Structure 1
């Protein structure tokens, strides 16, 4: 389960889409970029169960960004 999920705008102009995010999964911190088309670009580490994690991130972003 994802813990401590955080995100912020990638650009100073908040009207431009694109966000950076970070979270913990099984005690390890992961981070990346979430693009307007839903693509996820991981910074360094790719989490195990990547497909499941991506679905959870999409749900969180839909809830928080596209309310």
Structure 2
């Protein structure tokens, strides 16, 4: 389960898509860049391959809820 999910615009011009994201998962902090296409570039660590698909899906849902609605 993702906790303490945060995001902020990647660029000063908020009309340009792209966001810095950060969150905790299994007591470890992860950060990355979420692109408009849904691609995530991990900037601190990469989640375990077994967790990657589930995490990506959860992050995408959170971004849809917070940014696109």
Could you say which TM-score interval applies, normalised by the shorter chain? over 0.9
Tell me the TM-score normalised to structure 1 length. 0.96
Count of residue pairs the alignment pairs up: 67
Q: Which residue of 1 aligns with 2:2?
A: 2
Residue 20 in structure 1 maps to residue 39 in structure 2:
no
Matches within 5 A, 1:10-49: 10-48=10-48, 49=51
Gap runs ≥5 in structure 1? none
Gap runs ≥5 in structure 2? none
Tell me the TM-score normalised to structure 2 length. 0.94
Instruction: List structure 1 runs of 4+ shifted beyond 2 angstroms.
Output: none
Deviations 1:32-51 (A, max 9, x none): 00001111100031112011
